[in-house]
């Protein structure tokens, strides 16, 4: 039961984080379209690190 609540919290947190990353990257791209490639790369790396953390937590909490 508690691990399910924990899993839900993890997903909420990861969702907020991913939203921030994606949103800020969008803003950045809109301001500087010529830097799209670099922003996307950085965005994917940070998203991957966040995702690794979230999956790690889910995996340990299972």
The footprint of another protein (CB under 8 A) covers 41, 44-45, 48-49, 51-53, 55-56, 58-59
d(CA 53, CA 56): 5
CB closer to another protein, 5 vs 45? 45
Compute the least distance from the CB of residue 31 to another protein, in Å: 19
CB closer to another protein, 16 vs 60? 60
Which position has the token pair 């984080």?
A: 17
Q: With beta carbons less than 8 A apart as the criterion, state whether 41 and 34 touch.
A: no
3-class DSSP state for residue 27? helix
Compute the least distance from the CB of residue 59 to another protein, in Å: 6
């Amino acid at each position: 039961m508690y691990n399910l609540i924990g899993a839900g919290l993890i997903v909420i947190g990861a969702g907020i984080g991913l939203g921030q990353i994606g949103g800020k990257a969008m803003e950045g791209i809109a301001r500087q379209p010529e830097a799209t490639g670099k922003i996307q790369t950085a965005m994917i790396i940070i998203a991957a690190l966040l995702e690794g953390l979230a999956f790690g937590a889910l995996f340990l909490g299972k």
